[in-house]
């Protein structure tokens, strides 16, 4: 094997080197075993199997608490503001226990589907702390949102003129009033891959500030007897490092608040969305902290409202990835290992694991970069350029494109991929009929399923023509 290092490859940082990439409790034993929540990954693999998502529950609680506290502190009315709150973006990763955990720490829940809404309600979340997004909400979701609790959920975010009619019609039929916000396309461009930038005009979300559609939608809502306009919403993208982009979006929204005020329409709240970045590899720079984000937003809101001479509305945000992303690692078992020549006298180690794009689609979908480390032992062999791949029938089934791994990595070893709490589980699929991994919550030397792993029986349960050997044997 050629030990020459690929210039695009780098070693996965240890928890002591880049703790921002790892759950709080992650550390190594002297023999190299990776520990999480006081439990070794080898013991986890033996008892619960792989692939598996491992979530540090103390880390989740800590991050949720910091986001809620930072918003409450920086937007404290004593500072001349009107209060602030943080809603957890359920699309990042959702389960009943996760919803209960983040709301117990002071966050609300932002949902974007009937399933996410039902999950939040099943978790016992106060309906007033729940929001519902979506560019094409089904009537069933709107009905449940309006019927929840004594007065419906706290906010339904209107995304089109057609939804104004639909929500008003349903509220009228139910004899209730729906609290709504309007999603505004501000024109502020930010984020990584173009698929996750959401504030430009040519895309499916929101109503344009530039064309006047957003203002027209608010005006229309204010004339409906079964709709209560409570505020404006904007989301400019995902995986954003540049806090100035959020400040510019806030200025745009508050400009519309001032415009509406001149028409006699009061805006109680503005929601500045989410999209706050996290680091995924040792090559990524440190992401802004929660306090840096909220301080920047508070400064922008305070200054803009003073310049526009308008009352300061309440401010909310919707972090998801930055709450749950670093809390979780994915643990895989190594299978086939190939030493592949890649030209110019160089080789690359292709390390196949028992998962793949079905449990982490982001590298294939967004060209997202991850890293990986040997998790069950130490190695004294040289580091070599490697690529971690899955077992799917796709050449693009790549989990980690470029990483340095020990030359002696072999079948049966365990690899850990950090920062998979956001979108690993929630975007998982059954491609090639792979069962989706479970998510195991770990806290104080104890483990419990947050979402159990699927089995082949779960997959086949939807196929009315599937006949198991056991069923045929019983009937014969």
Residues designated catalytic: 393
471 — phi, psi (to 5°)? -65, -40
Distance CA 85, CA 433 (A): 41
Please give the DSSP secondary-structure letter assigned to residue 12.
P
What string of DSSP letters covers 324-356? HGGGEEEEEEEEEEEEEEEETTEEEEEEEES--
Q: Compute how many other C-beta atoms are within 10 angstroms of the C-beta atom of residue 8.
A: 10
CB 155 within 8 A of CB 179: yes
Helical (H) or strand (E) element with 45:
helix 41-48
Label residues 284-307 b or e (16+ Cβ within 10 Å = b). beebbebeebbbbbbebbbebbee
Instruction: Determine the Cα angle at 354 with ends 10 and 424, to 5°.
Output: 70
Distance CA 21, CA 67 (A): 18
Locate tokens 């982009």: which residue?
A: 245
Q: CB neighbours of 199 closer than 8 A, spacing ≥ 6? A: 185, 186, 187, 188, 189, 190, 206, 234, 235, 236, 237, 249
CB 364 within 8 A of CB 388: no
CA distances from 195 to 175, 242, 274, 362, 380 (A): 39, 18, 15, 11, 41
Residue 15, token pair as written in the block: 């928890």
Nearest to 65 by CA among 24, 33, 115: 24
What string of DSSP letters covers 13-41? PPTTT-GGGS-TT-EE-TTS-EEETTEEH
- The pairing of beta strand 398-406 with beta strand 383-389: antiparallel
CB 57 within 8 A of CB 37: yes
Nearest to 267 by CA among 212, 204, 220, 315: 315
Q: Compute how many other C-beta atoms are within 10 angstroms of the C-beta atom of residue 345.
A: 8
Q: Is the peptide bond before 293 cis (omega within 30 degrees of 0)?
A: no
Locate tokens 């009033």: which residue?
A: 177
């Amino acid at each position: 094997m050629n030990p020459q290092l690929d210039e695009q490859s780098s070693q996965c940082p240890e928890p002591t080197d880049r703790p921002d990439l790892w759950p709080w409790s992650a550390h190594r034993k002297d023999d190299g075993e990776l520990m999480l929540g006081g439990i070794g990954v080898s013991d986890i693999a033996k008892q619960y199997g792989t692939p598996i998502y491992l979530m540090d529950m103390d880390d989740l609680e800590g991050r949720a608490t910091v986001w809620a506290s930072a918003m409450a502190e920086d937007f404290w009315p004593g500072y001349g503001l009107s209060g602030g709150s943080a809603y957890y973006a359920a699309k990042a990763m959702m389960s009943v226990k996760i919803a209960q955990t983040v709301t117990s720490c002071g966050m609300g829940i932002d949902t974007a589907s009937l399933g996410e809404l039902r999950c939040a309600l099943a978790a016992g979340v106060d309906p007033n702390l729940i929001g519902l997004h979506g560019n094409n909400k089904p009537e069933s979701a709107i009905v449940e949102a309006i019927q929840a609790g004594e007065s419906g959920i706290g906010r339904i975010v209107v995304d089109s003129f057609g939804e104004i009619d639909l929500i008003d019609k349903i509220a009228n039929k139910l004899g209730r009033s729906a609290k709504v916000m309007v999603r505004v396309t501000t024109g502020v461009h930010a984020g990584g891959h173009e698929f996750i930038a959401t504030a430009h005009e040519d895309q499916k979300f929101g109503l344009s500030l530039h064309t006047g559609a957003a203002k027209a939608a608010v005006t229309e809502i204010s004339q409906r007897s079964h709709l209560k306009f409570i505020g404006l919403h904007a989301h400019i993208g995902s995986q954003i490092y540049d806090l100035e982009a959020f400040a510019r979006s806030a200025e745009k929204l508050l400009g519309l608040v001032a415009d509406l005020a001149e028409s006699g329409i009061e805006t109680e709240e503005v929601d500045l969305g989410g999209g706050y970045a996290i680091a995924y590899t040792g090559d990524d720079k440190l992401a802004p902290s929660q306090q840096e984000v909220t301080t920047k937003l508070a400064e922008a809101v305070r200054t803009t409202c003073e310049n526009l001479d308008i009352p300061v509305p309440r401010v909310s945000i919707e972090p998801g990835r930055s709450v749950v992303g670093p809390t979780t690692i994915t643990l895989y078992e190594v299978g086939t290992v190939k030493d592949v020549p890649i030209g110019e006298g160089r080789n690359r180690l292709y390390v196949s694991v028992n998962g793949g794009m079905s449990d982490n689609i982001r590298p294939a979908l967004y060209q997202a970069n991850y890293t990986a480390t040997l998790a069950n032992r130490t190695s004294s062999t040289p580091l070599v350029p490697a690529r971690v791949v899955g077992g799917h029938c796709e050449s693009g089934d790549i989990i980690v494109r470029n990483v340095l791994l020990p030359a002696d990595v072999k079948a049966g070893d365990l690899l850990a991929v950090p920062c998979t709490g956001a979108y690993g589980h929630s975007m998982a699929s059954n491609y090639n009929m792979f069962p989706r991994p479970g998510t195991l919550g770990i806290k104080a030397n104890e483990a419990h399923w947050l979402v159990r792993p699927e089995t082949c029986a779960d997959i086949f349960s939807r196929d009315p023509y599937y006949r198991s050997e056991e069923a045929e044997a019983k009937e014969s």
